[in-house]
Structure 1
Amino acid sequence: MQKKWWQDKFAYQIYPKSFADSDGDGIGDLRGIINKLDYLQELGVDIVWLSPIFCSPLADQGYDISDYYNIDPKFGTMADMEELIAKAREKNICILMDLVVNHCSDEHIWFKKAMEEPEGRYGKYFYIEEGKGEEPPCNWRSYFGGSAWERIPGTNKYYFHAFHKKQPDLNWENEEVRQEIYKMINWWLDKGLGGFRIDAIINIKKVLPFKDYEPDREDGMVSIRTMLKEAEGVGEFLSEMKRETFEKYDAFTVGEVFDARVEELPLFFGEDGYFSSIFEFGPALIGKSDNGWYDCKEAEREVYKEVCFKSQLKADKIGFMSNIIENHDEPRGVNEFIPKEDLSEKSKKLLAAVYFLQKGIPFIYQGQELGMENTVFHSMEEVDDISTRDEYQVALDAGYSEEEALRIVSKYSRDNARTPFQWSDEDNAGFTKGKPWLALNPNYPVINAAEQIKRKTSVYYFYKELIALRKSEEYKETFVYGEFEPVLPEVKNFMAYLRKGQDKNILVAANFQKEAVTLTLPVTCKKVLLHNDEDIRMERSTVTFQGYQVVVMEVK
């Protein structure tokens, strides 16, 4: 495998609106991030991915971009962005931006011109079709609920939006659109960006002409994912984009790729893949249902283990996946993968170790290093997220009461991860001197960075140790390039794997339950590298693992 500059790095995702507010308006901003660069450097961050900060009406929290060449004033100025890139580089941190090019905002100049003249040049930048009588062109359901088609006032024409109606899809079949996108990408890379996280990119290829599919709900519509299973040719677009942009700058790129066919994965992140890496979303999909959040099941630990092992073995000979337990689109990972009654700093450390040391590029989402948890919703009036509001209605339509629907969506809401970063136990958790744009998690007096930085046994320090271990000269080669091999996969609620390097082998072993268990391992400990308990009971290859104990050891 050809070695690249990014393979031994780890990345930290910042949701700018909720990270640090420098001017007291209640919204996080670029100046706030600049002020926290020392914190990121001390943690050991190599790469920072910023969720969108472009000009946007924020129908979907910045994923509806109205101007790709400017910073939204809510976040600061272009001078702030350039300063952030420069100061981060001084600390050996490279900045990624969010590349959102499946769609733009309906307030983008291209779309405004398209609405003025749907048959004209800019009309061809989007998918605009005649309706079928009084019905939309086809029965596809948008990801946020309702038809994926919006009627253009005064006409029988509709424009297509896979997501929100204020996010019209760009027509990638139009070469002029593609060239405009590539020009914009290169403009940013010329400013010194290290690369991009690429949003929802599999959606750029549609099955054309548009057609109906068999409905999958009583609304008579069908998930767009049904269409994506048939779509062919996305690789032609992605190859061209890489050739025209990323490749010229040796940029790091990570794709948000759902619904890719297994046999095509090497094309996405293999030796000469479209992207450097793609996110591994397998764990995030555990228990999910196409019917809606009301039908979701608990993420069982055995299923989590099975999904991780399967994805690791699948990717081991291909390339580097990007591993996560949470992001801005998911609830907090500790609530998702640890039973409520077992949630503790000890169990949070276990989850950190078992995901972080798998093969791939580890991503930490802001606050994850503190073990931040899901928040509390008392009513739907406290909810900002559009998908949560849609799923609330889906639950009501399925027969649940308002109280039950609120309980259901509270567990899965994207707002769980978007509450402001908990810097301290001071007013507003030290996030802002004003009123936060989204209510704080009420547990911030207990879970916050200031307290954990002072305490060597905290979740924060455990993450620091994980990061330092993965970067250490002695073990880096094994953690970065070593093969992945499951260990004792048949033992219930026990998750262990080997990372096998050229001259060192490392075992990560975790008792994923509150009951102690004694096991004879197929390897012998040579040296304990990291653990989350006060003591380790070990005699040769026989180890007694206490509840939620994880041990990382070099083995013979």
Structure 2
Amino acid sequence: MKKKWWHDKVAYQIYPKSFLDTNGDGIGDLRGIISKLDYLKDLGIDIIWLSPIYQSPFVDQGYDISDYYKIAEEFGTMDEFDELLAEAKKRNMYVLMDLVVNHCSDKHEWFQKALEDPYGKYAGYFHFVKGRDGKAPSNYRSYFGGSAWEPVPGTDLYYLHMFAKEQPDLNWENPKLREEIYKMINWWLDKGLAGFRIDAIINIKKDLSFPSFEPDGPDGLASCVKMVEEVEGVGEYFEDIKRNTFAKYDAFTVAEVFNMKDDELAEFIGDNGHFSSMFDFSAHTMAQGESGWYNSRKPSFKKWRDTIFASQMRLQEVGHAANIIENHDEPRGVSRFLPDHAQNEAGKKMLATTSILLYGIPFIYQGQEIGMTNCWRSDISEYDDISTKDQYREALAAGCSKEQALEYCYENSRDNARTPLQWSGASEAGFTDGTPWLSVNPNYKEINVEEQEQRKDSVLSYYKALIALKKSPEYKETFTYGRFVPDYEEKEGVFAFHRISADAAGNGAELMEAAKGGKQDILVAANYGTEACTLDLDGRTGKVLLSNVGEEKTRSEEIRTEGTITLQSCESAVVML
């Protein structure tokens, strides 16, 4: 594997609207981000990814961009953005922005001009398609529900929107459109961006015949995903983007990719892949219901663990994936993945241990480092998210009661991750002096940064110790490039794996033997069960590098294991064997 500058980094996603408000308007801003760079540096963060801060009507929280060259006034000014870049550089930190180019806002100048002349130049920037038999061109259901086609006023044309109707899809078949996008990407990279997180990029390739599919729901529609899965040739677009933009700057790119074909992994993130990395959503997609949130179920521990193990084994053969517990589009990871008995600080530290030390690049989402949780809402009116409102309606239509529908929203809503970051136990969690755009989680008095910074045994303190261990000179190479080998899979409730020196070769058993011969072998083990368990170390001894029990700092050299290690319920340990 070619070594890249980003392989050993730890990334942190900022959802700017909910990070920190400094002017009292209830919306987080760039000034708030700048003021907390030292907090992030102290945590151990190298890369900051900002969710969209471009000018937008915010129909889909900024993922509907009306001007790619402007900062939304809610967040600040371009001068403040330039200041953020400069201040991050002083701290040896890198900044990524969101690249949203499958679609734009219906308020974008391009789309407004297209509506003015539905058969002209700018209409060709979008998919303006003639209807069939007085109806939409095909029976696609958008990601947010309802038809993916919207009539173009005064014509028999429809425009495609795979997300909200206010987010018309861009026509990547049009070379003029591609030229405009590449120009924009390079403009931002010239400013000093380190790269991009790339939104919904798999969707840019369309089958221009727009065939209908067998309906998959009572509405007579079929998910637009069907077309995405069947169309060929999207990789050609990805290579074209890379050649004209990213490759010129050695930019780091992490793609949001669903629906990828199994044999395409190396093409996406191999040494010469389209992207530097891509998010591993394997555990998250497993938790989704076939028809919607109303029939989603919390995965069993074994299924969740085995899914991650299988993904790790596949990914390490190809490249560095981006590992997440949660993000702005997912509920809080501690609420989704921890069993009921582990919904505590020990459990949150345990989950962090089995995520941060996986093979790949860890992406921490704001608030994850203090163990923020899902937020209960008593009425659908308390939610802001467009997708949540659609899923609530779907649940009611499927026969669920209001109480049941709200329970599904509590378990799955994107707003769970979008509640303001809980900085302190003061009014509005220290996020704003005004009224927050989305109400804070009521548990902010118990879960907040200020309180946890004062405790050596807090979740925040543990994240700092965990990241420091991952980056420590003695173990950094193994945690970055070392092989991932699962272990103790027959043990109920145990999540355990080895990271073994990258220069060791062979399959799992051969790697374990190589480790006994002097290769660096670090065991990461956690007990998600309710009873204590003892792991046989096959006659080996070990030094405990980190445990989630007691004060959270690297344990002293004297703490060793002799032949076995016993883990209590919700206990995790990192052991140098």
| TM range, smaller chain | over 0.9
Alignment match, 2:20: 20
Equivalent-residue separation in structure 2 for 1:534 and 1:200 (angstroms): 42
5 Å matches for 1:455-466?
Answer: 455-466=455-466
1:8-49 superposed Cα distances (whole Å, 9 cap, x missing partner): 001000000000001010000001101111111111110000
Tell me the secondary structure at the aligned position of residue 189 of structure 2.
helix
Alignment match, 1:552: 574
Tell me the secondary structure at the aligned position of residue 519 of structure 1.
strand
Equivalent-residue separation in structure 2 for 1:304 and 1:203 (angstroms): 27
Per-residue deviation at 1:130? Answer: 1.0
Per-residue deviation at 1:340? Answer: 3.0
1:502-542 superposed Cα distances (whole Å, 9 cap, x missing partner): 44110001111221112313462321111112499986222
Per-residue deviation at 1:299? Answer: 2.1
Alignment match, 2:565: 543
2:93 aligned with 1:93? yes
Per-residue deviation at 1:74? Answer: 0.3
Equivalent-residue separation in structure 1 for 2:164 and 2:459 (angstroms): 37
Equivalent-residue separation in structure 2 for 1:49 and 1:307 (angstroms): 26
Tell me the secondary structure at the aligned position of residue 177 of structure 2.
helix
Tell me the secondary structure at the aligned position of residue 409 of structure 2.
helix
1:346-398 superposed Cα distances (whole Å, 9 cap, x missing partner): 00000000011000000000000000001110101100000000000000110
Q: 1:521 to 1:251 in 2, by over 3 A?
A: same
Equivalent-residue separation in structure 1 for 2:471 and 2:13 (angstroms): 19
1:424-457 superposed Cα distances (whole Å, 9 cap, x missing partner): 0011111000000000000001100001011000
Alignment match, 1:31: 31
Preserved contact between residue 278 and residue 322 of structure 1 (Cα < 8 Å): yes
5 Å matches for 1:100-115?
Answer: 100-115=100-115
Preserved contact between residue 140 and residue 147 of structure 1 (Cα < 8 Å): yes
- Residue ranges of structure 2 left out of the alignment (5+ in a row): 504-518
TM-score, scaled relative to structure 1: 0.98
- Residue ranges of structure 1 left out of the alignment (5+ in a row): none
Equivalent-residue separation in structure 2 for 1:308 and 1:327 (angstroms): 17
Equivalent-residue separation in structure 1 for 2:253 and 2:275 (angstroms): 5
2:317 aligned with 1:309? no
Tell me the secondary structure at the aligned position of residue 245 of structure 2.
helix
Alignment match, 1:511: 527
Alignment match, 1:239: 239
5 Å matches for 1:283-362?
Answer: 283-362=283-362
TM-score, scaled relative to structure 2: 0.95
Q: 1:374 to 1:129 in 2, by over 3 A?
A: same
Point out the more displaced range, 126-135 or 436-445. 126-135
2:293 aligned with 1:263? no
Point out the more displaced range, 490-499 or 453-462. 490-499
Equivalent-residue separation in structure 2 for 1:384 and 1:289 (angstroms): 22
Equivalent-residue separation in structure 1 for 2:432 and 2:550 (angstroms): 37
1:511 counterpart letter in structure 2: N
1:467-518 superposed Cα distances (whole Å, 9 cap, x missing partner): 1011110000000000110112122211110100144110001111221112
2:313 counterpart letter in structure 1: L
Equivalent-residue separation in structure 1 for 2:38 and 2:545 (angstroms): 27
Equivalent-residue separation in structure 2 for 1:320 and 1:129 (angstroms): 40
Alignment match, 2:546: 530
Q: How many residues align?
A: 555
Tell me the secondary structure at the aligned position of residue 229 of structure 1.
helix
1:290 counterpart letter in structure 2: E
Equivalent-residue separation in structure 1 for 2:406 and 2:453 (angstroms): 35
Per-residue deviation at 1:172? Answer: 0.3
Equivalent-residue separation in structure 1 for 2:490 and 2:150 (angstroms): 51
2:494 counterpart letter in structure 1: F
2:447 counterpart letter in structure 1: I
Equivalent-residue separation in structure 2 for 1:389 and 1:511 (angstroms): 37
Tell me the secondary structure at the aligned position of residue 527 of structure 1.
strand
Equivalent-residue separation in structure 2 for 1:99 and 1:37 (angstroms): 22
Preserved contact between residue 538 and residue 544 of structure 1 (Cα < 8 Å): no
2:431 counterpart letter in structure 1: F
Point out the more displaced range, 517-526 or 336-345. 517-526
Preserved contact between residue 269 and residue 276 of structure 1 (Cα < 8 Å): yes
2:178 aligned with 1:162? no
Equivalent-residue separation in structure 1 for 2:287 and 2:474 (angstroms): 39
1:154-210 superposed Cα distances (whole Å, 9 cap, x missing partner): 222100000000000000010111111000000000000010000000000112211
Per-residue deviation at 1:109? Answer: 0.2
Tell me the secondary structure at the aligned position of residue 540 of structure 1.
strand
Preserved contact between residue 544 and residue 560 of structure 2 (Cα < 8 Å): no
Preserved contact between residue 160 and residue 169 of structure 1 (Cα < 8 Å): yes
Equivalent-residue separation in structure 2 for 1:342 and 1:310 (angstroms): 24
Equivalent-residue separation in structure 1 for 2:279 and 2:50 (angstroms): 16
Q: 1:492 to 1:125 in 2, by over 3 A?
A: same
Preserved contact between residue 542 and residue 561 of structure 2 (Cα < 8 Å): no
Alignment match, 2:492: 492
Preserved contact between residue 204 and residue 234 of structure 1 (Cα < 8 Å): yes
Q: 1:476 to 1:211 in 2, by over 3 A?
A: same
Equivalent-residue separation in structure 1 for 2:350 and 2:457 (angstroms): 13
5 Å matches for 1:57-136?
Answer: 57-136=57-136
Equivalent-residue separation in structure 2 for 1:552 and 1:435 (angstroms): 43
1:355 counterpart letter in structure 2: S
Per-residue deviation at 1:231? Answer: 1.0
Percent identity between matched residues is 56
2:32 counterpart letter in structure 1: G
Equivalent-residue separation in structure 2 for 1:332 and 1:152 (angstroms): 39
Q: 1:69 to 1:539 in 2, by over 3 A?
A: closer
Alignment match, 1:448: 448
Alignment match, 2:10: 10
1:76-120 superposed Cα distances (whole Å, 9 cap, x missing partner): 000010000110110111100000000000000000000111110
Tell me the secondary structure at the aligned position of residue 13 of structure 2.
strand
Equivalent-residue separation in structure 2 for 1:297 and 1:520 (angstroms): 34
Equivalent-residue separation in structure 1 for 2:394 and 2:526 (angstroms): 38
Tell me the secondary structure at the aligned position of residue 173 of structure 1.
coil
5 Å matches for 1:380-459?
Answer: 380-459=380-459
Alignment match, 2:514: none
2:479 counterpart letter in structure 1: F
Preserved contact between residue 371 and residue 447 of structure 1 (Cα < 8 Å): yes
Preserved contact between residue 102 and residue 204 of structure 1 (Cα < 8 Å): yes
Alignment match, 1:139: 139
RMSD over aligned CA atoms reads 1.3
Preserved contact between residue 257 and residue 279 of structure 2 (Cα < 8 Å): yes
Alignment match, 1:210: 210
Equivalent-residue separation in structure 2 for 1:470 and 1:162 (angstroms): 40
Tell me the secondary structure at the aligned position of residue 254 of structure 1.
strand
Alignment match, 1:274: 274
Tell me the secondary structure at the aligned position of residue 363 of structure 2.
strand
Preserved contact between residue 326 and residue 333 of structure 1 (Cα < 8 Å): yes
